[in-house]
Structure 1
């Protein structure tokens, strides 16, 4: 009976992830104001006043090789994005110590924010709870996602990127439930 209940719960969680939909192009971007990895206050409303657009991306953690590759690509092309008037912000549920590791691995010089309460992830509709079996497989592989996030639950973001224009509206969305996929910098630059 217990096994049946766990299977039903896992199916419900999986269905929730597969049914999850991102914010749409043209929607008003939810505002936030949080401190980044360097202690700088990152206020989306203020940043939008000072820049043509914001590239806001969500990543899982420093332990994710696909995330690190994407962050490195963004860093390598940061001058190109900035020349188009874009300000880049990364959001992760991982702890500040995890973000420090991300920065060390990727040399990221843009703002990265620890969304420890998942408020930004929830506002942008990218949060999901890992199914228990998946969380256990990660643990057996040496990664406790809850511990990496400084939490007791197993929440990750769907890898997603939003480009927000100066008026605060979403003008581009990349949202793929396949954690291996990310938008190319070329694609992002073309949508700025």
Structure 2
């Protein structure tokens, strides 16, 4: 089963398990975000990746310039370890990581949680790629891919014991839009995907195909 099909199946089970009130609030949130066009107006193909300086699980700061000096990036925005859809997309990126690295690129995940939570997530999920902390969703906001939660969506998280502002070092209830990008060494975005619905994410082969195209173009330029 492809990642796309697995996510859609999880979405069906997830929605069926929700109460009528929770399901209505969840669907209202998706409708609101689509109306606001948050994904459509965010970082897209042809744009340039905003500069960042973000800490990893050990508190070491990584800059976008430092990472791009190594080669292209496959950079993903994840909502958090609590998100069942992120669990699958994190695992898919880890499965693709050896091929990503063989193509000369670096896989990077960005989450709004603090470094200690990032460390636990990496250990629990057995993630070998770089996970970076984005407090208060500052980088996601720079990308135009963060949104404030509606009262109904805040209620859903509170009833499940999640205090997102405290976890993110933020004053607002805010989350990133799930997204993934292939970024050239020049910081130009060669492939972009973002969707307000966390059950939608591209199959890793789409990312790998974009990286292969970059490699082919680089080889032609250097003949």
TM-score (norm 2): 0.74
Match of 2:125 in 1: 106
Aligned partners of 1:17, 1:153: CA distance in 2, in Å? 21
Deviation at 1:61, TM superposition (A): 0.6
Match of 2:24 in 1: none
Per-residue CA distance 1:42-86 (angstroms, 9 max, x = gap) = 1111221221x1011101111011111111121122111101111
Within the alignment, does 1:41 sit opposite 2:61 as a pair?
A: yes
CA RMSD of aligned residues (A): 2.1
Equivalent of residue 56 in structure 1, options 65, 68, 75:
75
SS of 2:165 mapped into structure 1: helix
| Greater Cα shift, 17-26 or 167-176 | 17-26
Gap change, CA 1:35 and 1:96, over 3 Å in 2: closer
Q: Which runs of 4+ in 1 moved over 6 A?
A: none
Give 1 or 2: higher helix fraction.
2
Give 1 or 2: higher strand fraction.
1
Match of 1:161 in 2: 180
Within the alignment, does 1:88 sit opposite 2:95 as a pair?
A: no
**Conserved? CA contact 2:57–2:119, under 8 Å:** yes
Match of 2:137 in 1: 118
Within the alignment, does 1:189 sit opposite 2:217 as a pair?
A: no
Count the aligned residue pairs: 181
Match of 2:6 in 1: none
Equivalent of residue 19 in structure 1, options 17, 37, 46:
37
Aligned partners of 2:102, 2:96: CA distance in 1, in Å? 10
Per-residue CA distance 1:145-184 (angstroms, 9 max, x = gap) = 2233233321100000111101110100011110112222
**Conserved? CA contact 2:136–2:168, under 8 Å:** no
For structure 1, list consecutive stretches of 5 or more residues without a partner in the other structure: 1-9
Gap change, CA 1:130 and 1:87, over 3 Å in 2: same
Gap change, CA 1:16 and 1:175, over 3 Å in 2: closer
| Greater Cα shift, 16-25 or 87-96 | 16-25
For structure 2, list consecutive stretches of 5 or more residues without a partner in the other structure: 1-27, 212-223
| Greater Cα shift, 37-46 or 175-184 | 37-46
Deviation at 1:22, TM superposition (A): 2.0
Gap change, CA 1:46 and 1:15, over 3 Å in 2: closer
